Chain A
């Protein structure tokens, strides 16, 4: 059986040779990870979709530069991560999450073409299940949210996190611990309410 990375490389080569099918397959393999990452970091589907589209536009423009020195998924994650930071800076999600994201959510669900109500409800249900996580993360400052994303959802080591953020390993550990403490407080306050 072909390894995931080998399959990625084969799809990249085919896409560079002009295969639209290979490009679509490559996007389908990785878009879910980027979308969910965007949801956690930015808190709404609209911004998460903006992230997905911008990431893959960047990938398309730079696909010929991918050397295969690292895994395609790692390369993709770096692009997505940097884009997410950019989008966060511009959107100031912390201030707008309480009502703007809900409005966007309804708009997105209504605008999906060809979706049955049942399917729409399923998407909404999945989103509701994740809403608590999004709400907890949204209370974190961006630098802590990013480290939680890397540590818990992307399973990076503190060494790797320190390298990505250009900080010391000890600072990375401290930020993660502070994030957990803050999440604990948010969780406890929600239970009280």
Chain B
């Protein structure tokens, strides 16, 4: 081989990063130099003989499926055990939260045990509230009675002054009339307050039911 450029130029010719200008320069020499041209031709022939490769089919094999299934089953059974356990803390939390919300109580006695939902002291508190309301009502009624007594006396004095008939008989009859009227007023007022208390009581009962969901007491034996 007399051309000393052949090896260098052919090595570059097969490069994939050759600039178009450099490639055309190399080609210019390769096509003008007989030795380089012949060498290039035989190299391209050798390369093309490799590209005659025909994709060959893969022989039969199990593709690792048996092992895949075996290991997957093992993994599933391991996961299954842990997947059951992983719900335990959540379930325990739900049970505890429910017991807390419903104020669940377990009471033992001689007859067995009693499981109750809802606070037992709520009713006693409610009863206390009703009693205090009644006391308030009684004191209000008492104050109204006292006030009405004073008003009646003042009114009676005004009437007597105007009629100038300060006889004992008139005075008694007028006083009876006022007293009857006062008693009727008081009765009406009591009825009104009682209705008000009943209404409050029902409202509280409804709220209690709503808040506790369950307002019954069950006994389990």
Contacts and interface: CB of A to CB of B under 8 A. Distances in A.
Consensus secondary structure, chain A interface:
helix
Interface in B9-42: 10-12, 14-17, 42
A184 B72 contact: no
Given A126-B54, A158-B15, 8 more contacts: A28-B63, A35-B58, A36-B55, A115-B60, A133-B49, A137-B50, A157-B17, A184-B42
Interface residues of B, number: 35
Interface in A143-193: 148, 152-153, 157-159, 169, 173-174, 176-177, 180-181, 183-184, 186-188
B88 interface: no
A56 interface: yes
Contacts of B76: 18
A18 B75 contact: yes
Interface of B: 7, 10-12, 14-17, 42-43, 45-47, 49-61, 63-65, 67-69, 72, 75-76
Contacts of B15: 158, 173
Nearest to B53: A133
Contacts, number: 115
B68 A60 contact: yes
Nearest to B12: A173
A88 to B, nearest CB: 18
A148 B55 CA distance: 17
Contacts of B16: 157-158
Contact of B52 (A40, A127, A129): A129
A193 B165 CA distance: 164
A173 B7 CA distance: 11
